[in-house]
Amino acid sequence: MLIHDWDAAIDDDEWWEFVQGHLFGHLVAPGRDRDLPVVVPTQFLLVGTPSEPELLLHLARPNPIWKALAENPRVLMSVASDWAFIPSSWKVVGEEDPAEGIPTTYYAAVQFSGLAAVVEDADGKAAILRRQLAALQPDIHRLDPADQAAQLPAIRGIRIGSLEVRAKFKYGGNVDAAHRLAVADHLARRHSSGDEAARAHLLRRLRRSTG
């Protein structure tokens, strides 16, 4: 993933808060000597701290990822969201010619690369499920996973640690405030999916960059 200086995360809190609000991504396991990697869209949990993050998840036992992990435990989790297409005519101000504008897409993306440890024991799998349930449905009562031990063999858990984090927030950081504010005004009026989130990122990063 190409990350220009102006698109890099301002600090660890920026990417941490973004991922905590988007706990669904694509887990990529390259395996070894394969024509294609195994790519699994999945829910996950981000735990620990920004300096020592860890990912927790579980997948069904028939999932093809297990063979790839046995070949090579290194994986990548990719999260991308809050995207909005920016037409060329939006990227002009004043007397600039709208026909000379350059279209782009705004988005946020975080990639975690690390080592996956497969969790086979019942207590370990129950612990992962317990933390996921507490985070994803804190107000909904459900039996503790340990009380449904007969169902635990159907899944395996994964803990991904030793993480390298790469984060990108592509929201017009390469242009001046006037051009970014013009795009923000257009986003406020269009109301397409992703526009509100993209506008919030744009304005937040603009405030941080201008003090």
Q: What angle do CA 128, 56, 74 make, to 5 degrees?
A: 135
Average pLDDT, stretch 178-207?
Answer: 96
C-alpha span between 173 and 206 (Å, rounded): 8
pLDDT value for 185: 97
Residue 123's contacts (CB-CB under 8 Å, 6 or more residues apart) are 146
Q: What does the H/E/C string look like for 75-99?
A: EEEEEEEEEEEECHHHCCCCCCCHH
pTM, rounded to two decimals: 0.94
- Lowest-confidence segment of 27-41, 93-107, 143-157 by average pLDDT: 143-157
- pLDDT grade for 5, boundaries at 50, 70 and 90: very high
pLDDT value for 151: 86
Per CATH, domain 5-83+106-172 is 2.30.30.790: no
Would you say residue 203 has pLDDT above 80?
yes
Would you say residue 143 has pLDDT above 90?
no
Instruction: List Cα–Cα distances, 207 to 14, 86, 141, 210, in angstroms.
Output: 14, 20, 41, 5
Residue 3's contacts (CB-CB under 8 Å, 6 or more residues apart) are 166, 167, 168
Among 58, 61, 62, 53, smallest CA distance to 27 is for 58
Would you say residue 42 has pLDDT above 70?
yes
* Domain-wise residue ranges, the chain: 5-83+106-172
Would you say residue 204 has pLDDT above 70?
yes
Strands 52-60 and 74-86: unpaired
pLDDT value for 140: 87
pLDDT value for 211: 66
C-alpha span between 187 and 172 (Å, rounded): 13
Residue 43's DSSP bridge partners are 24
17-41 per-position pLDDT tens digit? 999 999 999 999 999 999 999 999 9
